[in-house]
Amino acid sequence: WKRNPEAFQAFLDFRTSMTRDLHADFLEVIEGAIREKGKDMEIIVTAMDTLAHPEIVEDCGIDIRDVIALMDAHPFTLQVEDPARSWSGLPSRYADYFELYKPLVKDPSRLMFDINCIPDRDLPGTVLPSALATGTELATTLYYAARPSGRAAIYSESTVLPTDIDLLSYVLGSDVTIEGTRTAFDIEARRPVTLFLGRSGVVPFINGVKWPFFGQRGVSIPAGRSRLTFKKAGVLDQGGTAFRITFNGNFSDLKSSGNAFILKYDSPTPIPLTFSRPPEKIYVDRENRTPSLDRAGLILPRGRHDLEIVTETPAVRAVNVLGYLSSSLFYLLGLGAVFLLAGMYISAKVKK
């Protein structure tokens, strides 16, 4: 290879082209399997960076430009991984990577970066306090890595410290602005976000509309500007009669009619929809997608779609309300009977 660099380059080109063809073959097989299942599933291709680290072409036999070229024919998300020699670099290196990839990847929502959070870094000659990225270093790294699409991968969940896991969700929400008081908030978000609730017994309203998209994790807030207010929950807004929906996509044009919610949503990836009780009907672009009664959710297709959720018919609602009220009545009667028997017992003891 020293005497004939042209031949060596031809060998490197042959090797990267073979890797490119293998990617194309595997993608076609995977896409065929997805079509057979009839479900919208995301494909993520992880590739080593060769734009900032061209030596990887020789080291690993892959040129990420070849992988990017496949994005026009195959609907996958590209996940870029940097080599170990760069793990001791500044967290802002991911902002530099994005500038390199931005001219080549047409849709930033299909680009994400992989953060290797493992205790395997070369510390001599650096100012790093530990071999494992943690604390503000990991938080800042995730901040820069998630800027292009709002997503990032962290390798591996078994090596991230538990205290860091609790912090990282707030890092991803760092571009959200919230102003207001305890009962009303003005929220501006670039992407959908979940706002944690520190209290119960309330019902949220977004821009004056009663909001069904909240649960134990909090309130699902759409992208853009929103005004979040609360009202005290009534008897039928809690417990078994309440209907809770968790939906983390970006949605708009919400309309409610009786027990039906109609909206438009847009998501670059398949998106989960979960609910506290099985809904009566779910329609996506007027196509029935109602899950079976034993399912607590379903995966909605990516892209822009019309969604209609019918929580329950008036008859089912009446049965649920009647059942809730009657069970509450029986509970109160039973509780009253217990106190009555206890009073009779104490009275008999005293008289004796």
**Rounded average pLDDT per 10-residue block, the chain, 352 residues:** 94 97 98 92 96 96 97 96 94 96 95 94 87 94 94 90 90 91 88 83 86 85 91 66 79 82 90 88 94 88 93 63 67 85 84 72
Report CA torsion sign: 59, 64, 65, 67: positive
Would residue 303 be called left, alpha or beta, if left means φ above 0 and alpha means ψ between -120 and 50 degrees?
left
If DSSP codes are grouped into helix, strand and coil, which group holds residue 345?
Answer: helix
With beta carbons less than 8 A apart as the criterion, state whether 248 and 268 touch. no
Alpha helices (H) along 188-232: none
pTM of the complete model: 0.82
CA distances from 315 to 214, 262, 319 (A): 24, 20, 6
The reported pLDDT for the residue numbered 322 is 62
User: Any residues with CB less than 8 A from the CB of 50 and at least 6 apart, and which?
Assistant: 56, 57, 62, 63, 64, 65
pLDDT at residue 331, as a whole number: 74
What per-residue confidence (pLDDT) applies to 11? 96
pLDDT for the residue numbered 345:
83
Distance of alpha carbon 146 from the chain centroid:
13
CA atoms within 13 A on the CB side of 87: 23
* Collapsed DSSP state (helix, strand, coil) of residue 262: strand
Contacts of 245 (CB under 8 A, 6+ apart): 212, 213, 214, 215, 261, 273, 274, 275, 276, 309
Is 103:141 a contact under the CB 8 Å cutoff? no
